[in-house]
Homo-oligomer: A and B are copies of this chain.
Amino acid sequence: MIRVTVPATSANLGIGYDTLGMAVSLYAHFTFERADELAITGCPEEFRNEDNLVYVSFVDALRAWGEEPFPVAIDISTEVPVARGLGSSSTCVVAGIMAAAALTGHTVDRAELVRIATEVEGHPDNVAPAILGGAVCSFTPEGGLPRCLRYEVSDRLRFLTVIPPYEVHTSDARKVVPQQVPLSTAVWQMGRIAGMTRGLETGDARLIADACDDRLQEPYRRALIPDYDDIRRECLAGGAATMWISGSGSTLMAVTDDTIVAKFLQVRLQERFGACETLILTCDTEGAQIEYL
């Protein structure tokens, strides 16, 4: 039996629409073993079939290596909420591919995993940090493979993560984003990518806040999250440096370099927004892991 552990991820980090992502200390665990027929446990009944994304990715990877699909028993134990902008589907994709490699004796490195997972997911925003750990800025050269620039994230940073009880559909979130932007907005974003990555590396929360002033998506998407304004006000008043929408939401992530501020804020948000789950996360530095049990 093998166990694969994959971190949750926060895409965009405010300023880096479809470009930046970061692995965080919230994990999905998956065990796999060969079985007589497909059996999936640890998830709602509706996902216990061959359309399960973990199994679909497992089969996709096998086929990519010219291997015949075979039945497995999969058990899922995840802390990553579904459809909240924390990369839960990427955890499934990465786990399925790693299991396919492990159970058929293929040796894959992380670069190869990113390549295959990007093909399955369509873009590297979440899968790249889920595999590599840290923060990742990615782009895909024309006709080439994705290029991933990995950044070590300072361990002084805390990401106060507020998960509302409701979902934002990614398709709705994409619809509200204007498809044409002023040249000055493109320039605005570019300089701030450098500020954000440097701020994450050095743990400079003030620089992160200066850089995290997005004009591409957050001004439009905030309206899709009813608690956005209230939670943002509370976070900034309580000492957080800034706050962004994680992926396309609904999760919100505030940043501080002070663990006391993080703790105070967590308690305050739990009191005021009891329907939301509020976690203090750090950056995951390891990325996806595999154990042979």
Interface residues, chain A, CB within 8 Å of chain B?
Answer: 16-20, 137-139, 141-142, 144, 147, 149, 177-183, 185-195, 197-198, 207, 210-211, 213, 216
Contact = CB atoms under 8 A, between A and B. Distances in A.
For A139, A142, A190, the residue with the greatest tally of chain B CB atoms inside 10 Å of its CB is A190
Given A137-B194, A139-B194, A183 B179 contact: yes
Given A181-B186, A216-B186, A195 B142 contact: no
A180 B177 CA distance: 15
A149 B183 contact: no
Contacts of A180: 180-183
A102 to B, nearest CB: 31
Copies of the chain in the assembly? 2
A187 B19 contact: yes
Contacts of A138: 191
Interface hub of A139, A183, A191, A210 (most chain B Cβ within 10 A): A191
A183 B183 contact: no
B183 A213 contact: no
A197 B182 CA distance: 24
Contact of A141 (B147, B149, B194, B210): B210
A81 B149 CA distance: 36
Contacts of A181: 180-183, 186
A248 to B, nearest CB: 14
Contacts of A194: 19, 137, 139, 149, 193-194, 197
Contacts of A193: 190-191, 193-194
21 contacts: A16-B190, A17-B187, A18-B187, A19-B187, A19-B194, A139-B192, A139-B194, A139-B210, A141-B210, A144-B210, A149-B194, A149-B198, A180-B180, A180-B183, A183-B216, A186-B186, A186-B189, A187-B216, A189-B189, A189-B190, A194-B197
Contacts of A178: 183
A207 B149 CA distance: 10
A37 B60 CA distance: 80
A20 B194 CA distance: 10
Contacts of A177: 183
A191 B141 CA distance: 10
Contact of A182 (B179, B188, B190, B210): B179
Given A141-B213, A147-B210, A149-B195, 6 more contacts: A16-B190, A19-B194, A137-B194, A139-B195, A186-B216, A187-B216
A201 to B, nearest CB: 10
Contacts of A16: 190
A137 B186 contact: no
Contacts of A211: 139, 147
A178 B177 CA distance: 20
Given A181-B186, A190-B19, A194-B193, A142 B213 contact: yes
